[in-house]
Amino acid sequence: MASPVYLRKDGNVAVITLDNPPINALAHAVRIGLLDVIESADGDPDVGAIVIHAAGRMFVGGADIKEFDAGPAAPLLNDVLLRIEACSKPVIAAVHGTALGGGFELVLATHYRIASAGASFGLPEVKLGLLPGAGGTQRLPRLIGPQLALELMLTGEILTAQKALDLGILDRISGSPDVSVVALEWARQLVEAHAQPRRTRDRNVDATGIDNAFFDTQREQATRRHKGVESAPSIVRCVEAAVAQPFEAALGFSRQLFEQARTSVSSRALRHLFFAERGTRVARDPRAVANVAVLGAGTMGAGIAMSLATAGYAVTLIDTKPEAVSAGLKRVRDTINVSAAKGRLTQSAASEAVARVAASTDFEATSSADLVIEAVFESKSVKHEVFEQLDKLCKPGAVLASNTSTLSIDRIASATARPADVVGMHFFSPANIMRLVEIVRGAQSSETAIATALAVAKRMGKLGIVVGNCFGFVGNRMFYGYGRENQLMLLEGAGALRIDSVLKKFGMAMGPNAVGDLAGLDVGYRVRRERTDLPPDPRYYRVADLLVEAGLLGQKTGSGMFRYGEGAREPMENPEVEAMIAAEARRLGVTRREFTDGEIVERCILALVNEGARILGEGIAATAADIDAIWCNGYGFPRFRGGPMFYADTLGLAQVLTSVRRLAAEHGGLYWSPAPLLVELAERGDTFAKWSGERELQAASGHR
């Protein structure tokens, strides 16, 4: 098998090419090959300079993330880069495309640096719970100073070639797109001029104005910005060492901290999500989509429309109420223009996106659409009626998608004579911001229709995950279990602010009570009125129902579970509601008591895990990673914990099962009957991740 690194000589210049598609990741074989050719070129008396460049669309996209689970294998990238830096003749990096992570560290270890005008650079390791482990924390501060280096590493910001040149990271920007040709000529000039290597490690760190207080502040800020991610404050410690210690000692220290980060739960969680969020792959090709109709011009419909328009689709926003169409169009235009004002879009891109959105009050405007996304009132009868009309109006081959959050796609599809073309596309609010889309597969949804929905979601910049059809699909079905325990604990004596505070401390973006107030308590109330499968329990969501029946709907009425000051979103205790809950608990005969933080977390989070296991066992979700991606992207589950199923694996499924069985003994089996898959995996010592991996392999074998 050919090496992914090869060397050729062009006169007195050795040209080293990295060729490990698709991103030239610095995998073990690449490191072996690179070390071998560097030593060969440095030891060749006929070579006066060395150029390192890469084949394909980019320089180096980073390390091979899959290797981090296996542990370090010699040669380490750190050792390869030290050998490059130690070369006795000039080494030039010729960069095109992106140089990220270890790729940027490779650039920093060379002596001279040139890049194409479109190149970009970054050290985004913190996003994976890691830190630059091959000298980036030591070399970058020597080039641009500790403050800027920390900013780049703690934000993961991507630098343009021009910015890298301005900062002194690059020496030149190539005027030609073929940067390797320009680098080769420069190498010849360096040889002719008898230029010597310029080792970044030999430079002093400019620590002007930097003291211990600076690093203390940076650590505090890093800890707050990257909650639960141990590598963030470790990056600060590494840069502090770069200022205070000799290069070799500080480099060794940074390597120790890298290994600690690599094996941390937070990094394993973030790496797990990195792969989970690559999205669903399907065997079929999607249908071509140019025109999309969105039914319903409310907040959700307008958000979907603006996401489609900014992705380049021609959009028709349809609502039977003229005033709703006008308001929806205004919302689309205003939001897109605000994005331009904030620099997220260029003014020309914003103008083009706005121009792509047309409006109509006539359902016949769907007749030319390649895809229709329905975002009307969450009612079985309303959606059934809408799809009956779409079946008559839409052209053959159009994909008909419902944005329902809980209702059966099969029931909706039954209103048409083309159920194979009907899918769910469950967007999350606000749809122009939230990344997740659950792509719901009905019993008769075709692979082509699913592929089309996925392709559109991807072009919109969304994460599309295919799920099966049941009440609430994956995300909302699990949320009902999570919310159920919150509602029961409210009756049992836990305060709403207390519950929210404990779960936020666990890492949730918001507590369940604040979420309910933000969404509007009437939304869930209407869904429950539509259901025929509610448990025979008068306590089930009784607190939420009580508030809605009293007209306390949340933020939109100024009061829900919490009180809100005029124009304020910060929740405050609501004594009136607390009294209502206490009275209802007495009426229902519920004994009230004190709760520990651990009980609150256990009941809410294990409710998620147990329902997730049930969903996996039923085949509603394909893998545990899909569930984790859904919950981390749609429901604010802490990324540093990897999602509910990954979190359960870190606890150990035997421990999880023991806890669920104890909760069943304490609270009854109505809600706490252990999922069969949880029992099966716990008893044989398996994990959700291992089980999912085995299922994926089986599925792949079946496709072959």
Residues acting as catalytic residues: 105, 125
B/e letters for 378-394, b = 16+ CB within 10 Å, e = fewer, are bbeeebeebbeebbebb
One-character DSSP codes across 480-528: HHHHHHHHHHHHHT--HHHHHHHHHHHT-SS-HHHHHHHH-HHHHHHHH
Residue ranges of E strands in 186-312: 291-295
Helix or strand holding residue 272 (H, E)? helix 265-276
Q: What Å distances lie between residue 60 and 91, 301, 414, 520, 672, CA to CA?
A: 17, 40, 50, 47, 49
Which tokens sit at 252?
């060794």
445 neighbors 422 (Cβ within 8 angstroms)? yes
- Contacts of 347-351 spanning 24+ positions with Cβ under 8 A: 349/310
SS3 of residue 467 by DSSP: strand
In whole angstroms, give the CA distance from residue 656 to residue 602: 10
In whole angstroms, give the CA distance from residue 565 to residue 212: 41
599 neighbors 244 (Cβ within 8 angstroms)? no
Which tokens sit at 273?
């999500």
Residue ranges of E strands in 494-651: none
414 neighbors 438 (Cβ within 8 angstroms)? no
14 neighbors 44 (Cβ within 8 angstroms)? yes
In whole angstroms, give the CA distance from residue 328 to residue 359: 9
403 neighbors 295 (Cβ within 8 angstroms)? no
In whole angstroms, give the CA distance from residue 619 to residue 621: 5
SS3 of residue 13 by DSSP: strand
SS3 of residue 365 by DSSP: helix
